[in-house]
Amino acid sequence: MYSSQRGRGRGRGSSSANRFANSAPSTPLPAARDIMEGLRPSALQTISIPAAPATVKDIKITNFESIGSYNWKNAASPTIIVPGSPPEWQNKQTPYQVPPDTGIFFSDQNGFRMPQAVLLPLIVAVDKVQSESANASNAGTFDWAAENIDFITDRNGLRKLLRWIEDAGANPESRNFRIDLQLAGNTVLMNRWETETRVNYSGYTYGFNFEKASTDPAIGCEGSTGHHRVVKYDLDGLRMVVRFEVDACLPASAKAKSSGSAKASTIDDLVASLGEVKLGGASAKTTSTTTHGLTVLPGGGSVSHSSLLELTTRTERRAAEFDWKDAYPQLFFSQTPHHFLAVHYQGRFSAVNKRQLGSSELKGVERSIQPGLRKLRVALGVIRDLVVKHGERGRLTLVCRRGRMEVFERVSAESCLPDEVLARFEG
């Protein structure tokens, strides 16, 4: 961590096939970390699951915009490709057979590659995309202070908090998690923390290899190990910046046919001018840069948000029981417009069921999770007030165990971002 004094799988696995960790299947992984690692033993307080708010209104996402993206590159030191591109869906004719998943896969690639600063790639990628666009269009760069962002978080953190609200009474044992918090200016940084950033799969799932067999890497992004996109939006009065992994996108020939409900974003224009990067990779005028130990390479190309899709696999027996109430928030918090559910029997895929975020079926699911979303909005307000109260020197951590959410202080005063980056959030 920076020494500043300023202020397991779900059918297809938790990440996609091109996120295979560069380790032999027989390589032993380190032991899982203790969820209380680096925390003071006594909790400061407990946060209860909020009661339903008095006003019954739908929680909606508005003012949605893509602001950055990147791919991780498989390199000896942390290296990202900006803007990068997700793998392209090939729409292969079913049926086809894929081998079972075996070996080590990432569950949290950002945490594995940059454990001292899991949000730094997000900041760097947004700055790079926005600054290059500003150079081309004379527009302003992304001003982290002026944007008045309330939260910067991974989508994963929002899903964990919603599951705590929805499931604590029914299945608390399976929902243990931790989120490290820090205040930067007026923005709450929610840092993902996992007991394991990589997982060894032993042949019981097929999701990773399905994605590998069903997509092709974008030109200029061959050998990369996962695409991440950064978006900003308003969540019922909270200004959010959210990072999430992207499984794949519709190929260029299919993008014009896409009718997903998510708003098309300005990233298409922003990325097009990024250092004169073309779809084939970096131009002769672009060079790599390094900031705070993170190397940035130009590459990839413009990909519309409306083409993004989430891939999930299920066996023929389990497909009919797919838990949309648990899966839908993944689409909602990133406004991913397409969901493909691939059905198989022992790795032989017979069908791909395609749905869109704006379909009547999924709108019904969204209505069913509104009570949980309303409680989540209240909980986020409580968390924000707590972090602001403790100020920029506060080092707070949320720990949820057996459905009980407690707030702890971290022993170390080290920061999750360098001072130079934190200063970007001060007015």
- Does some domain include residue 99? yes
- Does some domain include residue 135? yes
- What is the pLDDT, as a whole number, of residue 15? 40
DSSP-H helix ranges across 350-416: 360-368, 370-390
Task: Tell me which amino acid residue 62 is.
Answer: T
- What is the pLDDT, as a whole number, of residue 56? 83
Q: Which two tokens stand for residue 313?
A: 């696999």
- What is the pLDDT, as a whole number, of residue 319? 95
CA distance 229 to 242: 8
Using CA of residue 370, residue 372, residue 374, residue 380, what is the dihedral sign?
negative
Helices (H) and strands (E) counted in the chain, each on its own, are 11, 21
Q: How is 300-311 classified by DSSP, letter by letter?
A: E----GGGEEEE
Name the DSSP class of 375. Answer: H
- What is the pLDDT, as a whole number, of residue 150? 98
The tally of domains found in the chain comes to 1
With tokens 């899991």, the residue in question is: 118
Residuewise pLDDT in 10s, the chain (427 residues): 776 555 434 444 334 445 666 544 456 899 999 999 999 999 999 999 999 888 889 999 999 999 999 999 999 999 999 999 999 999 999 999 999 999 999 999 999 999 999 999 999 999 999 887 766 554 557 899 999 999 999 999 999 999 999 986 666 555 799 999 999 999 999 999 999 999 999 889 999 999 999 999 999 999 899 999 999 999 999 999 999 999 999 997 655 444 444 444 444 444 443 433 333 444 434 589 999 999 999 999 989 999 999 999 999 999 999 999 999 999 999 999 999 999 999 999 999 999 999 999 999 999 999 999 999 999 999 999 999 999 999 999 999 999 999 999 999 999 999 999 999 999 7
- Does some domain include residue 328? yes
**Which residues form the domain of 46?**
17-425
The residues with which 228 forms a beta bridge, in sequence order, are 70, 245
Q: How is 292-348 classified by DSSP, letter by letter?
A: TTEEEEEEE----GGGEEEEEEEEHHHHTT--HHHHHHHHHHHT--EEEEEEEETTE
- What is the pLDDT, as a whole number, of residue 284? 38
The residues with which 178 forms a beta bridge, in sequence order, are 193, 399
- What is the pLDDT, as a whole number, of residue 140? 54
- Does some domain include residue 4? no
- CA geometry: angle at 34 spanning 36 and 76, to 5°? 115
